Amino acid sequence: MARFFIGVDVGTGSARAGVFDENGALLASAKRPITIWYEAGHIVEQSSEQIWKAVCDSAREAVSMAGISATAVAGLGFDATCSLVAVKSDGAPVAVGPSGDPNRNIIVWMDHRAAGEAAEINAGSHAVLRYVGGRISPEMETPKLLWLKRNLPASFAAAGHFFDLADFLTWRATGSLSRSVCTVTCKWTYLAHEKRWDAQYFEAIGLEELAAEGFSRIGTDIVDPGTALADGLSEHAAADLGLPAGTPVGAALIDAHAGGAGTLGGADANGRSDVRNRLAYIFGTSACSMASSDNPVFVGGVWGPYYSAMVPGLWLTEGGQSAAGAAIDHLVTMHPASAEARAKAEAAGLTLVAWLDRQVAEICPDLTRAVELAKSIHVVPEFLGNRSPHADPDARAIVAGIGLDVDISNLISLYIAGLCGIGYGLKQLLEKLAQDGIKLDLIVASGGAAQSNLVRQLLADTTNVPVAISDTEEPVLLGAAMLGSVAAGHNDSLPEAMKAMSHLSKTFHPTGGAIAVLHKNRYRAFELLQSADREIRSLALNGD
């Protein structure tokens, strides 16, 4: 009897579900939008109740579209953004913002309201910071918890549980309070290699209550991704999802890490599949870059090393940028020709970026030469700061070489320059990793923004490293489905599931010759512009 596995992914703007067979082939997928509330002061919030409904509707539709019986679903896995969820002990939502609306009970990953708290934490000599590249990010959970305690003490006190969103979903599905080692190690400062929280850290930063309570509100049972939770789907959750009660549910992953699991295990043309030599690059709204190693490697400005946070038994080193696909979207919207181009894109049934991508392919069929279309324009697309390798949340974007051109041709130049800027940022990270002993010979790219051949070729050329792609359209969903296969016992471990269910297809190789020289020179310009931004900010801070 054929068995199928559902992967559920909750991203920034939507919840999605996909049905996969035992070999990792996607039968069907469905998605639902989720609401985001933006307010002044870097406040970005969502609703856990709305997200759960979107998850259930997506799963029901995906099973229906796949044409299989719900009883044929053997396992279920979840991934989600690293957003903070606050609920009472009975599951009722708790308000986390100035609106006072309890339905807005999620502080979204990109919310930077806790930048001040993060700066305070970073000013201390806390041993746990060594495992986040030396500096904690305002995107992580302990600065957000400290902000909540200070600004909304009633909400902080009322919350019976604080979850990473992925762990909230498995709790809602099974009733299990177990947390994934992925979420708490990467975003909450859990020391997985020592199997403990650092009570001194929480006491020192002002979250002594959590330590005094024995960390019961943030997790006392920490398990590997894919671990079967409780007795599977509860009766209530099963009714919501349209699946049988007791269906196995695996401990979750952060969304980017699910993308890594869904792509890294595929064999290349030579039959090799060693994840230690590969970088998982998930290019979506944000960008996440993940490398695995046998031993802990401490890289300044780069998150980790995190033990067993993606692949059990290996140390994870994690970089990336808070705005990547979102940076390109914002960049091209700024151009005077964006309205004209958007109208053409809508007429063709495309997004603006997809339409620009198509125009480049028509103008320049040899995509290795697309960089020439950037002409005089250079872009450092750090609209939301530099996550790695500089760990500089105050960095901002720079666009240089702009003239008075206002036509679509110039918009295309800006688009290409922006993509190159994304690639040069990745090159910086690869160089930093190599300096500290993590040498990688293949980038495995996934995510919505990495779906075009133009982007893939530019990534290979800007980094001078081959870029491979998975043969599945939905690698993040596949990674989540792998968790379900492990929970069901179909695969004995996540590494086994990665080898069995993921496969690589095409590889894009770096272009040599004059194109390589051009990228080398543009990379130098990229770094000069970054340096100029830092100096300008220093002058502003130290001015009269």
Structure tokens at 462: 């800007």
Structure tokens at 25: 């082939």
The length of the chain, given as a count of residues: 544
- Strand, helix or coil at 233? coil
- Strand, helix or coil at 395? coil
Indicate if the pLDDT at residue 544 is higher than 60.
no
The helix (run of H) or strand (run of E) holding residue 537 is: helix 513-541
Under DSSP, the state recorded for 447 is S
**What is the reported pLDDT for 543?**
59
**What is the reported pLDDT for 387?**
85
Give 288 or 240, the one with higher predicted confidence: 240
Indicate if the pLDDT at residue 269 is higher than 80.
no
Give the whole-angstrom CA distance, residue 537 versus residue 217: 40
Give the whole-angstrom CA distance, residue 531 versus residue 386: 12
Structure tokens at 183: 């979420």
Residues forming beta bridges with residue 6, ordered by sequence position: 19, 76
- Strand, helix or coil at 490? coil
Question: What are the CA-CA distances from residue 299 to residues 61, 119, 134, 272, 389 (Å)?
Answer: 43, 19, 9, 27, 8
Give the whole-angstrom CA distance, residue 450 versus residue 164: 26
Indicate if the pLDDT at residue 273 is higher than 90.
no
Indicate if the pLDDT at residue 363 is higher than 90.
yes
pLDDT band of 270, cuts 50, 70, 90: confident
Mean pLDDT score, 344-357: 97
Region for 91 from its dihedrals, namely left if φ exceeds 0, alpha if ψ lies in -120 to 50, beta otherwise:
left
**What is the reported pLDDT for 284?**
84
Mean pLDDT score, 160-180: 98
The phi and psi torsions of 343 (rounded to 5 degrees) equal -65, -40
pLDDT tens, position by position, 427-476: 999 999 999 889 999 999 988 888 899 999 999 999 999 999 988 889 99
- Strand, helix or coil at 543? coil
Indicate if the pLDDT at residue 85 is higher than 60.
yes
Name residues whose C-beta falls within 8 Å of residue 505's C-beta, 6 or more positions apart in sequence. Answer: 468, 469, 470, 471
Region for 64 from its dihedrals, namely left if φ exceeds 0, alpha if ψ lies in -120 to 50, beta otherwise:
alpha
- Strand, helix or coil at 66? helix
Name residues whose C-beta falls within 8 Å of residue 391's C-beta, 6 or more positions apart in sequence. Answer: 133, 134, 135, 137, 300, 301, 302
Mean pLDDT score, 475-504: 95
35-39, 263-267, 347-351, 404-408, range with the lowest pLDDT: 263-267
Give the whole-angstrom CA distance, residue 136 versus residue 118: 6
- Strand, helix or coil at 138? coil
**What is the reported pLDDT for 201?**
98
Longest Cα–Cα distance of the chain, Å, equals 76
Region for 124 from its dihedrals, namely left if φ exceeds 0, alpha if ψ lies in -120 to 50, beta otherwise:
beta
Name residues whose C-beta falls within 8 Å of residue 526's C-beta, 6 or more positions apart in sequence. Answer: 378, 380, 420, 421, 424, 425
Question: Which of 326, 408, 327 has the alpha carbon at shortest distance from 360?
Answer: 408
Mean pLDDT score, 2-20: 95
Q: Using CA atoms in the order 470, 304, 393, 466, what is the torsion angle rounded to 10 degrees?
A: -30
H-helix segments, 67-180: 115-122, 141-151, 153-158, 165-174
Mean pLDDT score, 307-323: 92
Q: What does 7-63 look like in DSSP terms, one character per residue?
A: EEEE-SSEEEEEEE-TTS-EEEEEEEE---EEETTTEEEE-HHHHHHHHHHHHHHHH
Give the whole-angstrom CA distance, residue 445 versus residue 401: 29
Question: Which of 413, 411, 338 has the alpha carbon at shortest distance from 373?
Answer: 413
Question: What are the CA-CA distances from residue 482 to residues 190, 376, 535 (Å)?
Answer: 24, 46, 47
Give the whole-angstrom CA distance, residue 189 versus residue 130: 10
pLDDT band of 134, cuts 50, 70, 90: confident
For residue 100, with 0-12 CB atoms within 10 Å meaning exposed, 13-18 middle and 19 or more buried, which class applies?
Answer: exposed
Give the global pTM. Answer: 0.87
Indicate if the pLDDT at residue 371 is higher than 90.
yes
Give the whole-angstrom CA distance, residue 462 versus residue 340: 30
Cis peptide before 475 (omega within 30 of 0): no
Q: What does 254-273 look like in DSSP terms, one character per residue?
A: EHHHHHHHHHTT---TTS--
Question: What are the CA-CA distances from residue 452 to residues 6, 355, 448 (Å)?
Answer: 26, 11, 9
The answer to whether the beta carbons of residues 469 and 504 sit under 8 Å apart is yes
Residues forming beta bridges with residue 445, ordered by sequence position: 281, 469
Give the whole-angstrom CA distance, residue 58 versus residue 482: 18
Cα angle 477-11-119, degrees, rounded to a multiple of 5: 130
Give the chain's mean pLDDT.
95
Q: How far apart are the first and last CA of the chain?
A: 76
41-45, 168-172, 227-231, 515-519, range with the lowest pLDDT: 41-45
Query: How far, rounded to the nearest angstrom, does the alpha carbon of residue 507 sit from its chain's CA centroid?
Result: 22
Indicate if the pLDDT at residue 383 is higher than 90.
yes
Question: Which of 470, 475, 461 has the alpha carbon at shortest distance from 514?
Answer: 461
Mean pLDDT score, 370-391: 94
